[in-house]
């Protein structure tokens, strides 16, 4: 009986590693073969509005606005929601010739509330497509047209490739974050796309047919509101589509404190969604026969790469200890296979998208990097992660920087 329980405990992370590994292999294959659709509908055939929620972003929003304005079609527009700002965000946006909607509600704080406010504002004269973009992001060449075109063509949300760049002088830990981000936001969604499956929403670079947003309950303070929105749309029959040829860029925070604060919010939001959304999503997907929702629920259950490494290492140590007691060798075999898949998958991903940012020596130190993050998960478990919308101290890139290189 005890041996059976142990095997079940070890099999759960082993299953997640297998799913993760399958995504990595498929994503690397798709990247290598360049099986990407480049079709696009002319922007002039429909109206697109770029909606930018902004909280105290006055110091760095102008490059983002310049990128957006350069890619607008003749019938397109951009609006910034200045949400509970204490700086001059609204004045700076107006001076740049961009429409701004000012929202002041200290009791309802969060990006979700800002998006809800913006959508209601647009409902007076609704566009065909809404593209949501964070105020500190930069657009890759042609990103707006490609993203909006896919949303219009498919009648469902479209998510661009959202990449994070390291600030100048970043240590190896920063390079690991860039690599892990590429695995999560690039290779894995690309693998799902190769199988004809949807992706999660990443919070920025998201395009929606306006009617889909009009029907959503966006007003909430959830840390990972984007993922919850994607799950809700998938449950309604509109799973998000990954448009990897449209790119959006941002920077990790400059300071160590800012980086830790950001990571706390992201990973707490991810773990909260696993607990809050996955059980209900799986139950609904089985009830409705909704494969897309089931895939997103299972994909969400896969923890961040560092935590996945920690879980697999723990399972190996735990199973090895049981073997020394003569209890079970099956659990050790399963956990050992999990470690091999995790190692091989990480190596494949590094070969595909990591060699330009992470040396092989740094790659070998990934388990140590994961162990150093134990303190972060302790902070999450004790409730120290911020739950409100806080501006991140990112490094701002100059408006003319070439992100395509």
Delineate the domains of the chain, giving CATH numbers in brackets: 1-405 (3.90.550.10)
From residue 286, alpha-carbon distances to 282, 290, 295 in Å are: 6, 7, 11
Q: In this predicted model, what pLDDT tens digit does every residue of 240-254 receive, in sequence order?
A: 999 999 999 998 876
pLDDT computed for residue 258 by the predictor: 56
Q: In this predicted model, what pLDDT tens digit does every residue of 64-93 receive, in sequence order?
A: 999 999 999 999 999 999 999 999 999 999
pLDDT computed for residue 382 by the predictor: 63
Q: Which residue has the higher pLDDT, 221 or 321?
A: 321
pLDDT computed for residue 396 by the predictor: 44
Alpha carbons 296 and 304: distance in angstroms, whole number: 15
pLDDT band at 312 (very low <50, low <70, confident <90, very high): confident
pTM of the model: 0.85
pLDDT computed for residue 169 by the predictor: 59
Residue 195 has pLDDT above 50, yes or no: yes
By the 10 Å C-beta count (0-12 exposed, 13-18 middle, 19+ buried), 330 is classed as: middle
* Mean local confidence (pLDDT), 348-364: 91
Residue 234 has pLDDT above 90, yes or no: yes
pLDDT computed for residue 5 by the predictor: 64
pLDDT computed for residue 24 by the predictor: 96
Cβ(310)–Cβ(370) below 8 Å: yes
pLDDT computed for residue 272 by the predictor: 76
pLDDT band at 266 (very low <50, low <70, confident <90, very high): low
Residue 131 has pLDDT above 70, yes or no: yes
Query: What mean pLDDT value characterizes the chain?
Result: 84
Nearest Cα neighbor of 308 from 16, 82, 54 is: 16
Residue 221 has pLDDT above 60, yes or no: no
Lowest mean pLDDT among 108-117, 225-234, 306-315: 306-315
pLDDT band at 365 (very low <50, low <70, confident <90, very high): confident
Which structure tokens are listed for 89? 């965000």
Residue 182 has pLDDT above 90, yes or no: yes
Alpha carbons 261 and 284: distance in angstroms, whole number: 34
* Mean local confidence (pLDDT), 391-404: 42
Share of the chain above pLDDT 70, in %: 80
pLDDT computed for residue 296 by the predictor: 95
Alpha carbons 394 and 208: distance in angstroms, whole number: 27
pLDDT computed for residue 263 by the predictor: 64
* Mean local confidence (pLDDT), 149-178: 84
pLDDT computed for residue 43 by the predictor: 45
pLDDT band at 308 (very low <50, low <70, confident <90, very high): confident
pLDDT computed for residue 399 by the predictor: 35
pLDDT computed for residue 304 by the predictor: 79
205: left (phi > 0), else alpha (psi -120 to 50), else beta?
left
From residue 344, alpha-carbon distances to 21, 174, 336, 367, 369 in Å are: 8, 22, 12, 14, 18
* Mean local confidence (pLDDT), 186-205: 95
Q: Which residue has the higher pLDDT, 246 or 329?
A: 246
Residue 199 has pLDDT above 90, yes or no: yes
pLDDT computed for residue 252 by the predictor: 80
* Mean local confidence (pLDDT), 120-146: 94
pLDDT band at 188 (very low <50, low <70, confident <90, very high): very high
Relative to beta strand 206-209, strand 158-165 is antiparallel
Three-state secondary structure string covering the chain: CHHHHHHHHHHHHHHHHHHHHHHHHHHHHHHHHCCCCCCCCCHHHCCEEEEEEECCCCCCHHHHHHHHHHHCCCCCEEEEEEECCCCCHHHHHHHCCCEEEEECCCCCCCHHHHHHHHHHHHCCCCCCEEEECCCCCEECCCHHHHHHHHHHHHCCCEEEEEEEECCCCCCHHHHHHHHHHHHHHHHHHHHHHHCCCCCCCCCCCEEEEHHHHHCCCCCCCCCCHHHHHHHHHHHCCCCCEEEEEEEEEEECECCHHHHHHHHHHHHHHHHHHHHHHHHHHHHHHHHHCCHHHHHHHHHHHCCCHHHHHHHHHHHHHHHHHHHHCCCCCHHHHHHHHHHHHHHHHHHHHHHHHCCCCCCHHHHHCHHHHHHHCHHHHHHHHCCCCCCCCCCCCECCCCCCCCCCC
What angle do helix axes 330-353 and 2-33 make, rounded to 10 degrees? 20
Q: Which residue has the higher pLDDT, 395 or 125?
A: 125
């Amino acid at each position: 009986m005890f041996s059976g329980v142990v095997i079940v405990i070890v099999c759960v992370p082993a299953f997640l590693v297998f799913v993760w590994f399958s995504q990595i292999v498929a994503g690397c294959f798709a990247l290598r073969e360049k099986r990407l659709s480049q079709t696009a509908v002319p922007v002039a055939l429909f109206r697109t509005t770029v909606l930018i929620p902004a909280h105290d972003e006055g110091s760095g929003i102008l490059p983002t606005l310049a990128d957006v304005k350069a890619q607008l079609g003749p019938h397109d527009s951009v609006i910034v929601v200045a949400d509970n700002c204490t700086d001059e965000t609204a004045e700076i946006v107006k001076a740049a010739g961009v429409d701004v909607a000012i929202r002041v509600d200290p009791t309802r704080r969060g990006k979700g509330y800002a998006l809800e406010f913006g959508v209601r504002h647009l409902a007076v004269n609704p566009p065909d497509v809404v593209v949501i973009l964070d105020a500190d992001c930069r657009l890759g060449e042609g990103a707006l047209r490609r993203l909006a075109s896919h949303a219009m063509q498919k009648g469902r949300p479209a998510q661009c490739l959202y990449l994070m760049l390291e600030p100048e002088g970043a240590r190896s830990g920063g390079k690991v974050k860039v690599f892990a981000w590429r695995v999560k936001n690039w290779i894995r969604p690309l693998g799902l796309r190769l199988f004809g499956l949807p992706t999660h929403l990443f919070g920025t670079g998201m395009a929606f047919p306006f009617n889909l947003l009009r029907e959503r309950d966006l007003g909430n303070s959830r840390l990972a509101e984007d993922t919850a929105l994607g799950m809700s749309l998938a449950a309604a029959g509109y799973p998000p589509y990954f448009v990897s040829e449209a790119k959006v860029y941002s920077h990790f925070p400059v300071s160590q404190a800012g980086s830790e604060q950001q990571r706390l919010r992201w990973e707490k939001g991810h773990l909260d969604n696993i607990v809050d959304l996955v059980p209900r999503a799986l139950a609904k997907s089985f009830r409705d026969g909704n494969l897309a929702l089931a895939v997103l629920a299972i994909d969400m259950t896969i923890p961040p790469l560092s935590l996945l490494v920690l879980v697999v290492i723990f399972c190996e140590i735990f199973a090895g200890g049981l073997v020394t007691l003569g209890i079970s060798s099956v659990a050790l075999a399963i956990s050992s296979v999990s470690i091999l898949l995790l190692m091989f998958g990480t190596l494949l991903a590094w070969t595909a998208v990591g060699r330009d940012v992470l040396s092989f020596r740094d790659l070998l130190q990934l388990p140590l990097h994961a162990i150093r993050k134990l303190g972060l998960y302790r902070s999450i478990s004790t409730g120290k992660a911020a739950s409100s919308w806080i501006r991140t101290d990112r490094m701002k890139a100059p408006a003319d920087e070439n992100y395509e290189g």
